[in-house]
Amino acid sequence: MPNALQISKLTKTYANNVQALSQVDLSVEQGDFFALLGSNGAGKTTMIGIICSLLNKTFGSVSVMGLDQATELNQVKRMIGLMPQEFNFNPFEPIEEILINQAGYYGIDRHQAKARAELLLKRIELWDKRTDMAKSLSGGMKRRLMLARALMHEPKILILDEPSAGVDVEIRRSMWDFLKELNNEGMTIILTTHYLEEAESLCRNIAILDKGQVIEQSSMKALLAKVSQQVLILESGKSLPNPLPMLSFSVERLDDHSMQVVLDKLSISNALETLGKEGIEIEHVRSAQNRLETLFLRLTSRED
């Protein structure tokens, strides 16, 4: 079975000589939920632009479901649905029309497109606004509209560039559920996000892009296993001693009732036992840092 996406030596140099991508190799299996992480300017949007034919590549090859983009462009385009980072619809068009037109560009007749638009608009909770102009929607609604638009032609691969930007927590969760549902139905999903929690909870595989190069590609599980260090916030019902006693692990008093501990190899239960021996009873434990974030910062060398 061919990979959903296969990128080889992809290079992009803009007219102003900025090299956005340099010899990038990347593969995404069919049915995967794949995260593409990178800080601003890492080359994520450029890569997506090339995959979706919005940008011209300088060098390299892209194949989708085994089809070479250079020779079978139209078939490749049919395989991909894109939800871009920036709003890219006509704000003066009713939202149902935006969806029906998009389907029309893929050769889907109006009758069929109308039925599909109804299904999707109901799923993303915008059916009541179907006749409204797109400009009247909130930022989160506009993102959902772009998600529905990307799905109008039933693509095999869905590419989401920062899908959760500007979307409130409740809608974000419901969007995640929808994306998981699509993935369970067999759709390959490639996601770029700044919300590392989003990548960690949704994606099975991951690539990290930095300065136009892939610096890490593996399964999410394997990547997270590299982070042995845990940073925890421990809260006590009683006042903590000041100063805190010297312990075998790093500890910092945050306020009268809470402290931050950094555990390298020691388990949480051992740490709690050690604290108990010092007369410190802990009532609540929470993570101070997203593990993926820790790793991301380490890999991209932005950790102080």
Partner 1 sequence: MWIAYKTIVVKEILRFSRIWVQTIFPPIITTSLYLLIFGGLMGERIGPMQGVDYLHFIIPGIILMTVIQNAYANTVSSFFLAKFNHSIEELLISPVSYWVILLGYVSGGVARGFSVGLGVFIAVSFFVDLSIYSIGIVLITFLLTAVLFSLAGFINAVFAQSFDDISIVPTFILMPMTYLGGMFYSIEILPEFWQMLSKFNPIYYMVDSFRMGFLGSSTTDFITSMMVLTSMIILLAVVAFYLLKRGVNIKT
Cβ-contact 220, 203 below 8 angstroms? yes
Residue of 73, 119, 222, 285 interacting with partner 1 (CB under 8 A): 73
How far, in Å, CA of 125 to CA of 232, rounded? 38
Region near partner 1 per CB under 8 A, out of 63-71, 76-84, 251-259, 284-292? 76-84
Residue of 14, 168, 254, 302 interacting with partner 1 (CB under 8 A): 14
Per-residue CA distances from 170 to 151, 164, 177 (Å): 21, 11, 11
Q: Map the footprint of partner 1 across residues 19-48, applying CB under 8 A.
A: none
Cβ-contact 7, 26 below 8 angstroms? yes
How far, in Å, CA of 147 to CA of 145, rounded? 5
| Amino acid at position 137, single letter | L
212: contact with partner 1 by CB under 8 A: no
Please report how many Cα atoms fall inside a 13 Å half-sphere around the Cα of residue 291, on the Cβ side. Answer: 16
Beta carbon of residue 141, minimum distance to partner 1 (angstroms, whole number): 17
58: contact with partner 1 by CB under 8 A: no
Where does 88-242 show beta strands of DSSP type E? 157-161, 188-192, 205-210, 213-219, 230-235
Beta carbon of residue 68, minimum distance to partner 1 (angstroms, whole number): 15
52: contact with partner 1 by CB under 8 A: yes
Cβ-contact 196, 292 below 8 angstroms? yes
Cβ closest to partner 1, residue 113 vs residue 282: 113
80: contact with partner 1 by CB under 8 A: yes
3-state secondary structure of 155: coil
Residue of 61, 66, 88, 222 interacting with partner 1 (CB under 8 A): 88
Cβ-contact 210, 228 below 8 angstroms? no
141: contact with partner 1 by CB under 8 A: no
How far, in Å, CA of 300 to CA of 38, rounded? 8
Beta carbon of residue 56, minimum distance to partner 1 (angstroms, whole number): 6
241: contact with partner 1 by CB under 8 A: no
Cβ-contact 22, 46 below 8 angstroms? no
74: contact with partner 1 by CB under 8 A: yes
Beta carbon of residue 206, minimum distance to partner 1 (angstroms, whole number): 25
Size of the site for partner 1 (CB under 8 A): 35
17: contact with partner 1 by CB under 8 A: no
Token readout for 67 is 């089809």
Q: Map the footprint of partner 1 across residues 148-177, applying CB under 8 A.
A: 149, 153
User: In the complex, which residues of this chain contact partner 1 (CB under 8 A)?
Assistant: 14-15, 52-56, 73-75, 77-78, 80, 82, 84, 86-93, 97, 100-102, 104-109, 149, 153
